[in-house]
Amino acid sequence: FLIKKRFYIHLGLSIILTVILFFIVLQFIKIYSNHGDTYVLPDFSGKTLAEIEDDRYDQLYEFIVIDSIFDTHNPKGSVVIQNPPAGSVVKQYRKVYVTLVAYSTEKVEMPDLIDLSLRQAVNSLRSKGLVVNQLQYVEDFAGNAILEQLYDGEVIEEGSIIEKGSGIDLVVGLGQGHYAPIPFLVGLKLTDAIDAINKASFNVGNVYFLDGEDPEHDRVYRQRPAWDVSGQLFKGNTMNISLRSDLDFDFDALIQELKPDTMYFSDTTKIIKPEF
């Protein structure tokens, strides 16, 4: 009888301990997973991790950086991609994987531009993410050929590593013709207008944004010197441009107004003095 009694006591205690242990484990899981507590994930695009911490989001989620990319349109160190995406319903302490804008600037190799035509050189620079800083024309029989390539005033060799977006000075031969036709720029986006100015043998002067800066919609509204069917300008001179947004302006009508029929030709040549 005593043995049976002791057995039942031990059995009862075991059951009670099992129930208590199960309850403790259940509570621990509930606390750990915040059972029932869900949040709508905000959009962290454009924010740095420091800004996210300032807003105390690091107390709700765990942020894990999985990659970085080069991006000139967003602040360095800011979030450009997040997973799960904004608007997702998640639990507290959910891991949020983010891709940031790299703090360093992307590097590229300097191409060999020597003996290329000016047009070829501009295209080559653009393909590398580089730009023309200044065209310097010198007396040479090789008209519009690249004689030297300079970076920060010094000759730069092919293969040199420089920051993407850097400006390169090009020393160009004048050849026999010291003047070049003025390009028609109205309606072009900024990057295309800069290319057109450089390829036409001129430098970019002042750039004015009349409606604020918006790369997607800004187009050339005015150019100085103005385009003329027979107008020419000394090679290496500067051209100034003003831009407006195509959201608020009818550029098609302006182009039709400013540019005559393409079948019209003039036998006279006008030398245009630059306007500043």
pLDDT digits (tens, 9 = 90+) for 96-114: 999 999 988 889 999 999 9
pLDDT digits (tens, 9 = 90+) for 164-181: 999 999 999 998 889 999
Q: Return the pLDDT at 267.
A: 45
- For residue 273, give both structure tokens: 């003095």
Residue 15 has pLDDT above 90, yes or no: no
pLDDT digits (tens, 9 = 90+) for 18-73: 888 877 876 666 655 555 578 999 999 999 999 999 999 999 999 999 999 988 78
User: Could you give all domains of the chain from N- to C-terminal order, each with its CATH number?
Assistant: 38-101 (3.30.10.20), 106-177 (3.30.10.20), 179-276 (3.30.10.20)
Q: Return the pLDDT at 30.
A: 60
Find all residues with CB under 8 Å of 188, minimum gap 6, and list them.
196, 219, 220
Tell me if 203 sits within 8 A of 238, measured CB to CB: yes
Q: Return the pLDDT at 264.
A: 43
Tell me if 86 sits within 8 A of 98, measured CB to CB: no
Q: Return the pLDDT at 70.
A: 86
pLDDT level of residue 162 (50, 70, 90 thresholds): very high
Side-chain half-sphere CA neighbours of 16 within 13 A: 6
pLDDT level of residue 204 (50, 70, 90 thresholds): very high
Q: What is the mean pLDDT of residues 225-252?
A: 93
CB atoms within 10 A of CB 168: 21
Tell me if 148 sits within 8 A of 133, measured CB to CB: no
pLDDT digits (tens, 9 = 90+) for 249-275: 999 999 988 875 543 444 444 555 555
